Amino acid sequence: MKMGKTIVEKILSEKSGTDARAGQIVMADVDYVMVNDVTGPIAFREYEKLGTCTMHKDRMVLIPDHYVPNKDIASAEQAREMRDFVGKHGIENYFEVGRGGVCHQVMVEEGFAAPGRLIVGADSHTCTYGGINALSTGIGSTEAAAAFATGRLWFKVPETIKVVLRGSFRKHVGGKDLIIRIITDIGVDGANYRAFEFHGDVGNVPVADRLTISNMAIEAGGKAGIFPCDDLTREYIAGSVRGEYTPVDADPDAEYCMTLEYDLGELEPMVAFPHLPSNGHPVRETDVRIDQAYLGSCTNGRIEDMRIAAEIVRGRTVAPGVRFLVVPASQRVYRQMIDEGLMQVFLDCGAFVSGPTCGACLGGYMGILASGERSVSSTNRNFIGRMGDKDSEVYLAGPAVVAASAIAGRIVTPDDLEVI
């Protein structure tokens, strides 16, 4: 007798019209395919080679974000190639500079991501949308071209790791700390081509934290990280989601390849040391001086992250010799920061506040680290040379630790500020 299905198996069964099970290969209809200014041009060229294929324009989403605004002639040419493709084919889902932001934030804000949907994107952190019950995963640019033309792609149905959560986060602990803990426990290859599926007291995990957790599933090699849809999910996407959606829950007798369990109340602020997201340590065991603190990215650039950080730096001043970069993940978050007075708080403490861009996160431009410099960052990767010189160091942490560290000049928790 066949077992029940995981969320991944159910979504791929629905989208492929087959009885999809882990290990099988299926052809499935995708709801949306997203590309950015770096991955898009390759997809455009490959699509044009296909000739007279039907274009599924309503499923295409184009978002410039990596080199925004353009940093040099090469990036300007990439951006123009995207605009030319949009104009030639009449693509409606295009978010020009000043009207969008970091692609994964825009996909959620603009309602493309929703429960039960199958979404692919030519960016590895497309798995973010699992935070709102979508099956979303990264693909290559040539695969994106195929999805442009056919609206379909093949998938190997991944096995699923069941993650059971108990309790609630303590103050100054959140989704970033949990996912660093998970990756540290299983390693950067511990979930290779597998999905994470979250169970238990997920109602105690805010949706913003769920998005952070799902965003970093790829850092353990994961294909996706998926939460169930609940009242928090529905409230989060209300008023923005496009069209109807169908939430998907796992069957009680679904089969999992592994089970992990975490008591959220026992978690503490974490920091991932260079040069892997799996090199996690409790902040209390850390004594690292920093040159830069970076708050932003598709991982922790949401308004909830900005509120957490602003509350910590309010009335305080960035430490001498430290640069505090604050980069909201979208134009909408930027506007919310102004409306809520957070912008003033950051400016008063001595932070540099930028419009939305991926620039510093991928070491593309702005915030580049010199040899020997150290940055604590709310981003998702700390590989060698990720944000600058190969001899620089990136330490990954949540927004509360990043903000506190900017004030202290070394990696600390907000509680440590009271005794410094």
Residue 50's identity, in one-letter code, is L
Q: Could you tell me where the DSSP H helices lie in 90-172? A: 103-109, 141-150
Residues of the chain with CATH 3.40.1060.10: 158-238+255-267
- Burial of residue 28 (CB within 10 Å: 0-12, 13-18, 19+) is buried
Query: Which residue is associated with the tokens 């529905």?
Result: 234
Residues of the chain with CATH 3.30.499.10: 26-154, 271-417
Residue 327's identity, in one-letter code, is V
Q: What are phi and psi of 397, to 5 degrees?
A: -155, 170
Which class in CATH covers the domain with range 271-417?
alpha beta
Low-confidence residues in the chain, pLDDT < 50: none
Q: Can you give the pLDDT at residue 52?
A: 61
Fold of 26-154: Aconitase; domain 3 (3.30.499)
Looking at domain 158-238+255-267, what is its CATH homologous superfamily?
Aconitase, Domain 2 (3.40.1060.10)
Between β-strands 224-226 and 280-282, what pairing exists: parallel, antiparallel or unpaired?
A: unpaired
Q: Which of 318, 297, 313 is nearest to 378 (CA)?
A: 297
Query: Which residue is associated with the tokens 């994106």?
Result: 144
Q: Whole-model pTM above 0.75?
A: yes
Residue 187 CB neighbours (<10 A):
14
| Cβ-Cβ contacts under 8 Å for 151 (sequence gap 6 or more) | 29, 30, 56, 59
- pLDDT, tens digit, for every residue of 264-307? 999 999 999 999 999 999 999 999 999 999 999 999 999 999 99
| Cβ-Cβ contacts under 8 Å for 239 (sequence gap 6 or more) | none
